[in-house]
């Protein structure tokens, strides 16, 4: 088994290197014909040091950032060739390829960046965070009760934009000596204001079930993925009723660590294809597209793992169930919504149709859900989160102006030419 894993890792490494070289060649061609970015135009940057596999962390911000760019021009700073190529293909925002620190320095010198957003905790964030005289703001790539959401790394940023009271309470339990009143700004979930889009099927009487599991995780404490433990039985049961339409949205990283998890993912996809061939009116969907939104608003009920998807669905304010991890080492924060949610155990999976019927008729569960929605996101009236997001940015811009005026006498200091560390190029 160990030899097989080593072989798979070696094959993956070769594929990654080959893909990287192809991406670099394509990128070189694109950069050669791309118009230069207008100097001094951009006030906000989004720093992204990852490749295509983690693009989902940034995609969910496309629409809110595009809306923000109508007021404050936004530039994406991408550090990898593959990530940049993908962003240039799909992003609604301008992209700067800053592979080396010298590239980053050049862009910073050419623009008037005052706020830098970060969507994850990539170690290379610190190559950007050495720049002063701009606000470094963590916006994350989702809201959840996973251990990732209470990392002490929050303290590295000048400010963090968080969803609501639940996020503040979660951080307050873990972080010492953190100025929540100043450095944590609640904005709700701006993405929820963009949960829309064309449906890949015609609605009918079928109950639409979104099954959106996370990946298997890279350690027992984060083993939240349900594809191999719940997924096959759950989807199989729904396909037999003739009364359900399944939207299956697997995590982009499904199976990258565990071969059995990858195999279960393939079994689910094959089962949905077979069901559609047997009954073309079923229109079951395997959704691997970049856009997340219509799935959350269109589904009558969602079944998700412990992940940011729980809270994206909460922001939509519609029924959901959570898969309970089988691995006893998986950490579950039972101080928040997960203490009061509707669980689906692995043994429940074959009976999922009956569980969904019971949930639809449970008024107590509905009222409980609404209370948690408010706790996590505050006012979820359409447009309310976007208003708070823009107000937070305006506040940070005003704060920047105040500090710039105070330190105007220090203008001779050029922050765009910091002490060089050639090892970081």
Q: What pLDDT, in 10s, does the model give residues 274-321?
A: 999 999 999 999 999 878 889 999 999 999 999 888 988 999 889 999
Is 363 a domain residue?
Answer: yes
pLDDT score for 292:
82
Question: Does residue 167 share a domain with residue 42?
Answer: yes
**For residue 14, is it within any domain?**
no
> What is the predicted pLDDT for the residue at 149?
73
Q: What is the pLDDT of residue 32?
A: 45
pLDDT digits (tens, 9 = 90+) for 108-138: 999 999 999 999 999 999 999 999 999 999 9
Total number of domains constituting the chain:
2
Q: Is the pLDDT of residue 424 over 50?
A: no
Q: Which residues of 159-180 are buried (b: 16+ CB within 10 A; e: fewer)?
A: bbbbbbebbeebbeeebeebeb
| Lowest-confidence region among 19-23, 176-180, 207-211 | 19-23
42-89 pLDDT, tens per residue? 999 999 999 998 998 999 999 999 999 999 999 999 999 999 999 999
Position 216 scores a pLDDT of 96
Is the same domain home to 175 and 234? Answer: no
Read off the pLDDT band of 423 (50, 70, 90): very low
pLDDT over 80 (residue 201): yes
Nearest-Å Rg of the Cα atoms of the chain is 23
* Maximal CA-CA distance, the chain: 74
> Smallest Cα–Cα separation from 294: which of 201, 388, 162?
201
Look at the alpha carbons of 187, 189, 191, 192 in this order and tell me if their dihedral is positive or negative: negative
Lowest mean pLDDT among 30-44, 47-61, 327-341, 411-425: 411-425
- Are 90 and 127 members of one domain? yes
Residue 293, H or E segment: none
Structural domain includes residue 196: no
Residues 248 and 373 in one domain: yes
Average pLDDT, the chain: 89
In a domain, 10, yes or no: no
Q: 23 falls in which pLDDT band (50, 70, 90)?
A: low
Q: How far apart are CA 316 and CA 312, in angstroms?
A: 7
User: What is the model's pLDDT at position 142?
Assistant: 80
What's the confidence (pLDDT) of residue 303? 98
26 burial class (0-12, 13-18, 19+ CB within 10 angstroms)? middle
State the pLDDT at residue 134: 97
Residue 277 lies in a domain: yes
Angle between helices 352-360 and 232-239 (to 10 degrees): 70
Q: Are 55 and 113 in contact (CB under 8 A)?
A: no
Percent of the chain scoring above 90 in pLDDT: 72
Give the CATH number, domain containing residue 94.
3.40.50.11380
List the domain range (segments joined by +) for residue 86. 31-188+383-424
Asked whether residue 7 is domain-assigned, the answer is no
């Amino acid at each position: 088994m160990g030899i097989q894993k080593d072989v798979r890792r070696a094959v993956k490494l070769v594929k990654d290197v080959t893909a990287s070289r192809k991406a670099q060649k394509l990128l070189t061609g694109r950069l050669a014909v791309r118009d230069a970015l207008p100097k001094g135009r951009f006030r906000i940057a989004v720093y992204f040091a990852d490749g295509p596999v983690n693009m989902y962390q940034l995609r969910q911000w496309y629409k809110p950032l595009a809306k923000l760019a109508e007021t404050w021009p936004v530039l994406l700073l991408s550090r990898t060739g593959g990530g940049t190529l993908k962003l240039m293909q799909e992003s609604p925002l301008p992209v700067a390829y800053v592979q080396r620190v010298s590239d980053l320095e050049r862009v910073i010198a050419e623009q008037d960046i005052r706020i830098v957003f970060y969507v994850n905790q990539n170690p290379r964030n610190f190559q950007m965070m050495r720049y002063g005289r701009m606000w470094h703001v963590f916006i994350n790539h989702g809201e959840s009760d996973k251990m990732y959401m209470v990392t002490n790394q929050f303290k590295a940023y000048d400010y963090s934009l968080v969803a609501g009271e639940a996020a503040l309470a979660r951080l307050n339990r873990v972080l010492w000596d953190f100025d929540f009143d100043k450095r944590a700004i609640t904005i709700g979930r701006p993405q929820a204001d963009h949960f829309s889009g064309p449906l890949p099927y015609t609605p009918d009487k079928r109950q639409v079930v979104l099954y959106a599991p996370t990946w298997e995780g890279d350690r027992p404490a984060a083993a939240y993925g349900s594809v191999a433990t719940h997924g096959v039985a759950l989807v199989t049961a729904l396909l037999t009723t003739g009364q359900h339409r399944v939207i299956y949205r697997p995590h982009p990283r499904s199976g990258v660590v565990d071969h059995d998890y990858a195999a279960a993912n393939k079994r689910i996809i094959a089962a949905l294809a077979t069901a559609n061939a047997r009954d073309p009116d079923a229109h079951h969907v395997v959704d691997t597209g970049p856009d997340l939104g219509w799935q959350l608003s269109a589904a009558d009920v969602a079944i998700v793992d412990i992940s940011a998807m729980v809270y994206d669905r909460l922001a939509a304010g519609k029924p959901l169930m959570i898969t309970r991890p089988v691995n006893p080492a998986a950490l579950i924060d039972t101080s928040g919504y997960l203490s009061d949610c509707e669980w689906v155990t692995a043994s429940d999976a074959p009976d999922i149709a009956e569980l969904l019927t019971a949930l639809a008729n449970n008024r107590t569960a509905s009222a409980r859900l609404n209370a948690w929605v408010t706790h996590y996101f505050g006012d979820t009236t359409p447009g309310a989160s976007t208003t708070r997001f823009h107000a937070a940015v305006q506040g940070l811009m005003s704060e920047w102006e105040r500090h710039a005026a105070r330190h105007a006498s220090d203008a001779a200091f050029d922050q765009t030419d910091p002490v060089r560390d050639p090892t970081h190029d």
